[in-house]
Amino acid sequence: MTSSNCRLVGIDVSRGLALLGMMAVHALIPFDNNHNPNWVSYIPTGNAAAVFALLAGVGLSLTSGRAAVPRSQALATASSIAARAAVIGLVGLLLGYTNAEIAGVILPYYAVMFLLAIPLLFLRTRMLVLVGLFAAVAVPVLSELIRPALPEATLDNISFSYLVSHPLDTLSELLLTGAYPALPWMSYICAGLIVGRLALSSVVVTRRMLIFGVVLGAAAATASWYLLGPLGGKAALRLAAPGPMNEDGDTVDDLLVFGFDGTTPTGSWWWLATSAPHAATPFDLLRTIGTAVAVVGAILLLGHVAALTLQRVVHVVTAPLAAAGSMTLTLYTAHVVFMNSPLDQFDPVGGYLFQVAAVLLFALGWRQAVGRGPLETAASGLASWARTKAVERKERDASRVPARMLATPKQEARSWWDQAEGTSPHSSRPGAPRRAV
């Protein structure tokens, strides 16, 4: 297995693992019989979606050359990404007619993130770091100030009919108030763009990713615990909201353990100290970015195991995940449709195991027999068509520009000087001697 293959397979495996995590969040119950959080609350909830979002940024980086896109390719790149966003958004809006209580559809938010990512592709890595920190730290604070003036989110899946009948409410929900608010979530996209520019085939780089991710995640979680515990944040929130916080009867303690629906309440600044899942606070975003970077780094490291026997084991175990990770749009869509259909007659655990087996087997078979997933083929095809049209338009526009308009400022200055001195072919004194300059 070549190093570049290790890199690509590792990204696909990470994406496949994130898909299974998001399916677990939808299909399984996040607490035990005593209403205590179980492994679903601690592992996939919040983290799976973060890995998925970060890998969206990695994918954008890989498809755009793993470097700041030159301005000469601006139109082609923007057209290609916008076309992908259109396919993702279309599928997401069609899935918007499903029940959000069964599975919250993230795809419309992803489409918006893809569009917001277009200008980021032209930034240098240092600027991406600054934009990512702004999205992770400043945007949640600004959101806390702005959201009281915005329409309350429905938290239903966004459909065509809701988009047409409530366009401004839809925009508000997609950007700030919804289950996966795009503006603070752009921190994941920025982190993914940065990761995609790294030498992911290097053992040293992937090891550093693992260490950095663990340190960042642990630091964010520890800082949140210190603010809410020893510094009295949780006690202050209990005093501010002594009763249930929502129609489900969740208290402050419930929310801080099981997480939120994309945003926190706006009644106290102490809410910004939580790192609970889907809080979209600075500590939640930084913690899950760290987790996502660590997960991707660890999986990439698996591609570099030295022992031949271990290499074979890793390949056998990861091949189905890699296949699933190469067609997540198709499989995610099938998962949401299945869970909202009469076919899902299973208990939570049985239904989840059935879906995992079906997803992995289908992906492995389809990839061997056909290749790219059906929806991935549509997205890739439309993106390629849009890029080709953009390039053709640019060439057509360039051919219509007069040659003298294509001259550089230095060439234009020389031409003017030559005419003034009478040495230009257009001069009335073509034979006059040229003066030394």
Over residues 68-86, mean pLDDT: 94
- Length of the chain, in residues: 437
Q: How far is CA 71 from the centre of its chain?
A: 23
pLDDT of 82: 97
Confidence of residue 422 (pLDDT cuts 50, 70, 90): very low
Q: How is residue 169 written in tokens?
A: 């409410």
pLDDT interval class at 429 (50, 70, 90): very low
321 in Cβ contact with 305 (< 8 Å): no
Give pTM, 2 decimals: 0.88
At 92 the pLDDT is 97
Question: What pLDDT, on a 0 to 100 scale, did the predictor assign at position 306?
Answer: 63
Given a cut of 80, whether residue 407 has pLDDT beyond it is no
pLDDT, position 3: 47
Name the DSSP class of 150: S
Is the model more confident about 433 or about 313? Answer: 313
Least confident interval from 13-27, 134-148, 390-404 = 390-404
Q: How confident is the model at residue 57 (pLDDT cuts 50, 70, 90)?
A: very high
Query: What average pLDDT does the segment 272-287 reach?
Result: 97
- Which pLDDT belongs to residue 358? 97
Q: What is the pLDDT of residue 427?
A: 41
Question: Which residues are bridge partners to 37 per DSSP?
Answer: 31
Q: Is the pLDDT reported for residue 405 higher than 70?
A: no
Q: Are residues 101 and 246 in contact, defined by beta-carbon separation less than 8 angstroms?
A: no
Instruction: Write down the domain spans for the chain.
Output: 3-400, 411-437
Query: How buried is 178 (Cβ within 10 angstroms: 0-12 exposed, 13-18 middle, 19+ buried)?
Result: buried
Average pLDDT along the chain: 89
Cβ atoms of 273 and 255 within 8 Å: the answer is: no
- Whether the per-residue pLDDT at 428 is higher than 70: the answer is no
Task: Return the percentage of the chain with pLDDT > 90, whole number.
Answer: 76
Averaged pLDDT, 43-59: 96
Closest-CA residue to 296 (of 155, 188, 143): 188
pLDDT score of 326 more than 60: yes
**Residue 149 contacts residue 84 (beta carbons within 8 Å):** no
Residue 206: its pLDDT value, please?
95
Return the amino acid letter for 172: S
**The pLDDT value given to residue 28:** 95
pLDDT band at 402 (very low <50, low <70, confident <90, very high): low
Crossing angle between the packed helical segments 348-369 and 328-339, to the nearest 10 degrees = 150
pLDDT for res 417: 42
Partner residues linked to 31 by β-bridges: 37
pLDDT tens per residue, range 142-154: 999 999 999 999 9
